Amino acid sequence: MADDRHEAMQAVAAEIRGCTLCDLHLSRTKAVPGAGSSSADILFIGEGPGFHEDRQGLPFVGRSGDYLNDLLKLIHLDRDAVFITNVVKCRPPENRDPLPVEIATCKPYLDQQINLIDPLVIVTLGRFSMARYFPGGKITQIHGKPKIENGRAYIPLFHPAAVLRNPDLRPVMEADVNQIPSILEDMRQKRAAGSKPPESAGDDAPPPQQLSLF
């Protein structure tokens, strides 16, 4: 079962690496499917790959990645124990915000990853992943406040890069991260009691077919 899940995750990653469904493929060096455990209890979702991620094909490397590693250490986790990905898998040029059409086109890949991993906790990092679960939410107002639905917790956090740009946010970010273990334990108990997240419409859908240019 775990092997099947790992293989299915590898298949999704292979599709992502060859994907040409939106224009972000034109400027990417490498697509960044995500990294970590296919059976992780915690899934982190950021915005999109940056310069270093695009070069290495890995999520959250460079300064933001180092800071994310530090945050994980605070709660005695390392990267192998979680899964880390983004709402778009290819770098937007000059690190601009991903466009709505790019997020929508890439969404089936993230949906598939979530359905395969089936995490107890989803942590959003920054505005674009937050908008998926907290539409209209403002990060300054809702950061660190979990939403619990059917045995899964959704926790909105600041993006690590935003905290690096504004060091005043560090204590806030670290307090928010320090809550994760107790929320995870609560979700374990709820899941053991039979609470299960619904499979949302479209989450099982395969990625859209490649569009012919002709």
What are the CA-CA distances from residue 140 to residues 45, 126, 156, 162 (Å)? 18, 11, 10, 12
* Sign of the torsion angle spanned by Cα atoms 107, 111, 114, 116: negative
Give the residue with the Cβ less far from ligand SF4, 16 or 180. Answer: 16
In 159-214, DSSP assigns E strands to: none
Shorter beta-carbon distance to ligand SF4: residue 14 or 74: 14
102 binds ligand SF4 (CB under 6 A): yes
User: Would you say 105 or 113 has its CB closer to ligand SF4?
Assistant: 105
Rounded CA gap, 106 and 86, in Å? 10
d(CA 126, CA 47): 7
When asked if residue 85 is in the footprint of ligand SF4 (CB under 6 A), the reply is no
Using CB under 6 A, count the residues that bind ligand SF4: 14
Q: If binding is defined by CB under 6 A, does position 106 make contact with ligand SF4?
A: yes
Q: Which of residues 26-65 bind ligand SF4 (CB under 6 A)?
A: 31
Is residue 21 involved in binding ligand SF4 (CB under 6 A)?
yes
* Chosen residue from 25, 63, 138, 145 binding ligand SF4 by CB under 6 A: 25
Contact 74, 174 (CB under 8 A): yes
| CB closer to ligand SF4 out of 24 and 121 | 24
Residue among 9, 24, 117, 187 that touches ligand SF4 (CB under 6 A):
24
Residue 91 contacts ligand SF4 per CB under 6 A: no
What tokens were used for 195?
């609470």
Kindly state whether residue 19 participates in binding ligand SF4, applying the rule CB under 6 A: yes
**Beta carbons of 120 and 106 less than 8 angstroms apart:** no
**The token pair that represents 103 in the structure block:** 């997020």
Under 8 Å between Cβ of 50 and 1: no
Residues that bind ligand SF4 (CB under 6 A): 16, 19-22, 24-25, 31, 88-90, 102, 105-106
